Structure 1
Amino acid sequence: MKLRPRIMTSLGVRLVIRRLQRLPAGQDNVIDSERVGRELRDLIAGMAPEHIDEEIYAAIDQYVDSYVSQFRREMYERYNSDLIELDLLETRLRPYLEWADEVNSDERSRVEHMNGAVTHALDRVSDPDQPYRDPIRPNHNRGTT
């Protein structure tokens, strides 16, 4: 079996796993409708006595557009930062995964070779027509003086 390179130790893998667990779960990616409703009510209440409906509608549209664009910008920035973090973790894990795949491939190859050897031995032993030959040759010099 090949020795594991010093690229990534089990401690390094555990640290990467901890960093993965600390990534945000994405549950805060929702619009706070209560805050938006409260701010819209305050906006309308402040404008209602002095402005006409078209001005209020325009202010509401402007508020909603700015809120949605700010929300989309924050989500895009969060998405980019999470993606950068995942790319860094992948970069750290890639050599370890390649090493593990190589070791796994070597082990599978060994198991296949052993399986072939056992099958061949069983075929030789179980075939009555096959002449049996002792794999260990007797020592003819033993016992002679």
Structure 2
Amino acid sequence: MLIGTVCTLLSAAGLGVAFLVARRRRYALALRTAAVALLPVGLAMTGVVRFVVNMTFNPVAWAGFGVLACAVLLFLSGRLADGRGRGAAAGSAPEVRAVPGGATPSLPGSRGAGGKAKGAAADPDDFSDIEAILKKHGI
């Protein structure tokens, strides 16, 4: 009974505001305001408001939300743990492919057979193709 009265008063106030907006010849805004103003009465008539009020003040409903939140956290934790385990078990080491000519590839910044880091003392011929492209474009 109280819920219906409160919703009716809210709708009446909203329709009053819509009427004042319509007097200013802003009809589109007045129609939208009237539509929003009718929502509380419609929700009260369908029983949605009673359901929400009963759920809000019910400690069993809040305990149910707590159980659902716990279930979601456990599910996400399981997915996270499964993702970490799968990455380590699947071989997180980089894949090494054979290079034509019998040379063994190495990771950038790692030390080659000579003991010095590759890329640190690169041959001047390594950038010749880049220089040719830059000269071609006039840079």
Q: TM-score range by the shorter chain?
A: 0.3 to 0.5
With structure 1 as the length reference, what TM-score do the two structures score? Answer: 0.33
For normalisation by structure 2, the TM-score amounts to 0.34
Relative contact order (C-alpha < 8 Å, sep 6+): which is higher? 1
